[in-house]
Amino acid sequence: MITLNGLQFQEYISEKELLHAIDEVAVAINRDFKGKQPVFLVVLNGAYKFATELLSRFEGDCEIEFIKMSSYDGTASTGQVQTHIPLEADLEEREVVVIEDIVDSGNTIEKITQMMVTAGVNKYRIASLFFKPGSYTKEYKIHYVGLEIPSDFIVGYGLDYNGLGRNLNAIYKLKTTKMTNLVLFGPPGAGKGTQASFLKEKYNLIHISTGDVFRYNIKNATELGTLAKSYIDKGQLVPDTVTIDMLSAEVDKTPDANGFIFDGFPRTTAQAEALDALLEEKGTQVAAMIALEVDDEILVKRLLERGKTSGRKDDADEAVIRNRIKVYYDETAILKGYYQKQDKYYGVDGVGEINEITTRLSSVIDKL
């Protein structure tokens, strides 16, 4: 097991298996290009190790050119192919072998094919060390394939995760742990805090309260806490990027957790999208948004009762309480729609005995 940029990867394909696959690709290319002088076009950066081994096995004369392209950001494909080092060689009427590290969606292959047509090549072939048939969406033929693999994210042997892992001599795949990540919502007085305590114990989850995270970072004068305080002192809202960085740091403290309960975040669509992106980087996702549903009049009654013992001024003023409830619904309505589109929104009756409500919540979580 190795860790790169906070993510864990487990060994998947050994160096011996890789070299055997390259041997087979080399045999096929030597057969097809015997007595010819092809141009090998190496797609950087990922194909450099594959190209080095493959070219050392080519038995004839050849020319070598390079082009640099990318279509990934972190562990996810951007869907867009960017060219960083353009093709400048004259390939008109030449026979070309394109050396790729991996073919998944086929977007890069489509771009290269367009280049070959524009360049007027006589014939071209695609040689890829890896091919993900389950992800491939194009109709272009991949002529030489070292290994067909599932649609897992892999690193090593030229492939990287945010710059790391290219130098590894074996292939490692992202360790995906099924995590139960919950966005827990409930209006003031719904008992969200109480239920979060029960759920984190029952399912061995980590409870992340945005308020607690802010207080910890500010109290301990962390870099993010100091930055957040600078906005607060000016009466400004703390940018979402600061909040998400704090949450990311909290998630990184327990990478082997069974999951997280996010309490107080997200509150806007932009924050929900940022949370999705954060969890995707960690190889997981939000499993559900669960909202405790309680009638307004019951909430007001509960909070007024609590105000008699809590000493909190905002629990003693009915007008303030009703405004807090209104703000909650205004915020939740937006997020409800966001998660409903993903079939991840669950409303749970929050009226009754504590254990009854816990049972209702558990019945939702157990089906995730």
Beta-ladder partners of 345: 289
Q: Which two tokens stand for residue 206?
A: 């980590």
Tell whether 265 is in a known binding site. Answer: yes
Q: In terms of Cα–Cα distance, which of 149, 131, 129, 145 is closest to 53?
A: 129
The response to whether 191 counts as a known ligand-binding position is yes
Annotated binding residue 125: no
Three-class secondary structure of residue 9 per DSSP: strand
Q: Is 264 annotated as a binding residue?
A: yes
Query: Is 236 labelled as part of a ligand binding site?
Result: yes
Residues 6+ apart with CB under 8 A from 20: none
Q: Is 66 annotated as a binding residue?
A: no
Residue 238, annotated as binding a ligand: yes
Annotated binding residue at 262?
no
How many Cβ atoms from other residues are within 10 Å of residue 82's Cβ?
A: 11
- Say if residue 307 carries a ligand binding annotation: no
Residues that are catalytic: 192, 267, 306, 312, 324
Judge contact between 299 and 187, C-beta under 8 A. yes
The answer on whether 192 is annotated among ligand-binding residues is yes
Range 81-89, long-range pairs (CB < 8 A, 24+ positions): 81/107, 81/108, 81/110, 81/111, 83/111, 85/44, 87/41, 87/115, 87/119, 89/39, 89/41, 89/63, 89/65
Instruction: Tell me if 210 is assigned to a ligand binding site.
Output: yes
DSSP letters for 175-190: ------EEEEE--TTS
Is 43 marked within a binding site? no
DSSP bridge partners of 2? 9
Q: Name the 3-class secondary structure at 120.
A: coil
Distance CA 52, CA 48 (A): 6
Known binder of ligand: residue 127?
no
Cβ-proximal residues to 366 (8 Å cutoff; 6+ apart), any chain: none
Is residue 131 a known part of a binding site? no
Burial environment of residue 233 by CB neighbours within 10 A (0 to 12, 13 to 18, 19 or more): exposed
Residue 194 annotated in ligand binding: yes
Q: Is 319 annotated as a binding residue?
A: no
Binding residues for AMP: 210, 215, 236-238, 264-267, 271, 312, 324
Binding residues for ATP: 189-194, 306, 352
Binding residues: 189-194, 210, 215, 236-238, 264-267, 271, 306, 312, 324, 352
